[in-house]
Amino acid sequence: MTGTALAVGRRRHAGPRLVRLHLTSRQVPGGLALLAGCAVLLRVALHLHWMPDDGAAARQTLLLIECAAASVVAVAARTPFGESERATGPRLPVLRLAASLLLTAAAAGSLALGAAAARVPGGALGLLRDVPGLAGIGLIAAAALGGALAWTGPLAYTVLAELALMDGWRTPWTWPARPAHDAGAWWCAALAFAAGTALVAARGPRDTGGDG
C-alpha cells in the first residue's frame, strides 16, 4: 500500500465524508462557533436587561443579534473553489442546500437556546421567523453579489427593519417589525428564505473571481 493510499485510508461512508468536506470548505465549523457566540451574546443581553420590554429599542437590539447570525449563514455560502467546483455533478446543489438549511437551523436554534427560559422581545416565535427570513435575504445577496459581500443584504435589511420598528410600518415585508402572530410577515419571511436557499442551491453564490 502506498503512502497516499494510507493517507486516504478506507472510507466507506462517502456521503457524510462529502458533507464534512463541503462544510469544512465553507468554514461552517467556524460559523457554528460564531453562532454559539451570538447565542451567548443574546443570553448576556437578556441577563443584563438590555431588552427589558417589547419596545422598539429592545427589538432593535434583538434584531441586530439576529442579523449577526444571519450574516454568518450568508457569508458561509462563499466557495473557495470557483469554477473547478461548478463543473462538477449535481451533488453540489444538494450540498449547498443542505449547508444553508443546516446553518439556518443552527442560527435559529442557537438563538432560541440562548433565549431559553427568558422573555424575548416580540416572543420566541418571532425569533424563529426573523432569523430564517434574514438568512434568506443574505443568501439572495450571496447569489447577487457573491458570498464574501453577502452580509450587506442582512445589514441593509436590518437598518430598514429598525426604521420600520421605530416608525410602526405595517407592511409584512419588514417582518421583524411585525408581531409574531402576523401571518403575512411569516409568509414574507418564508418566501425570502425559500428564494434565498433556492437561488444559492441552484446557482451558487455569484463568482466574483479572486475577490470572491
Partner 1 sequence: MSAVPAPARGGRRPLGRRIPDVWTRAGGRLLRLELRRNTMMWMVPLALLAFWLDTYRSSMALSPLWSSRTLILRQGAAVDDFAPFAVGAAAWVGGRDRRRGIVEQVDITALPRWAGRAATWAATAGWALGAYLACVGFLYGAIAWQGAAGSPPWWPVVVGAVALVACSSLGFALGVLVPSRFTAPLAAVATALVLRQTLRSGGRYVLLSPVASPAYSLAPPKPDAGVFYPYLPDLSLTQLLFLGGLAVAALGALGVQAVCGAAGLRRLAAAVTAVGLASCGTAVALIGTARVEANGVVVPALHDAADDRPLTYTPVCGGRRIRICLHPVYQAYLPTLTAALDPLLREVAGLPGAPVRVDQVALSGARAPLAGADVGGDPPVAHLALDIGYDGAMWMGPSPAGQALPRRCCTSEQMWTSVPYVTAEVLPPVAGAILDRLVGHADPAQQAVVEGLLRASGVPLDSMASAARIDGSPIGLPQPGTPAHAAGERCAALSANARHAWLTAHLADLRGGRVTLEQLP
Partner 2 sequence: MNIEITDLTRRFGRTRAVDGVDLRTGTGVFGLLGPNGAGKTSLLRMLATVIPPSSGSMRLLDLDPARHGPRREIRRRLGYLPQNLGYYPGFTVVEFVEYFALLKEMPPREVPRAVAAAVERVGLGDRAKAKLRTLSGGMLRRAGIAQAIVNEPRLLLFDEPTAGLDPEQRVEFRSLLRELGRTSTVVVSTHLVEDVGAACAEVALMHQGRIAFQGTPDELVARGAGHGTGDAPLERGYSAVLAAVRV
Q: Which residues bind partner 2 (CB under 8 A)?
A: 2-5, 7-15, 17-18, 21-22, 24-25, 79-92, 95, 209-210
Burial class (CB in 10 A: 0-12, 13-18, 19+), 51: buried
Residue 27 sits in the site that holds partner 1 (CB under 8 A):
yes
DSSP 105-170: HHHHHHHHHHTTTSPPTT-HHHHHHHHHHHHHHHHHHHHHH-STTTTHHHHHHHHHHHHHHHHT--
Shortest Å distance, C-beta 6 to partner 2? 8
- Using alpha carbons, select from 62, 85, 110, 104 the residue that is nearest to residue 194: 104
Q: How far apart are CA 77 and CA 200, in angstroms?
A: 8
Choices 25-33, 87-95, 99-107, 198-206; region in contact with partner 1 by CB under 8 A: 25-33
> What does 14 bind: partner 1, partner 2, none (CB cut-off 5 to 8 Å by kind)?
partner 2
Residue 179 vs residues 15, 49, 127, 161, 189: alpha-carbon distances, Å: 41, 21, 11, 13, 13
Residue 210 sits in the site that holds partner 1 (CB under 8 A):
yes
- Using alpha carbons, select from 208, 185, 202, 173 the residue that is nearest to residue 82: 208
Residue 50 sits in the site that holds partner 1 (CB under 8 A):
yes
Shortest Å distance, C-beta 5 to partner 1? 31
Residue 71 sits in the site that holds partner 1 (CB under 8 A):
yes
Shortest Å distance, C-beta 209 to partner 2? 7
Quick one: which of 16, 20, 21, 52 contacts partner 1 (CB under 8 A)?
52
Binding site for partner 1 (CB under 8 A): 27, 30-31, 34, 50, 52-53, 55-58, 60-61, 64-65, 67-68, 71-72, 74-76, 78, 147-149, 151-152, 154-156, 158-160, 163, 166-168, 210-211
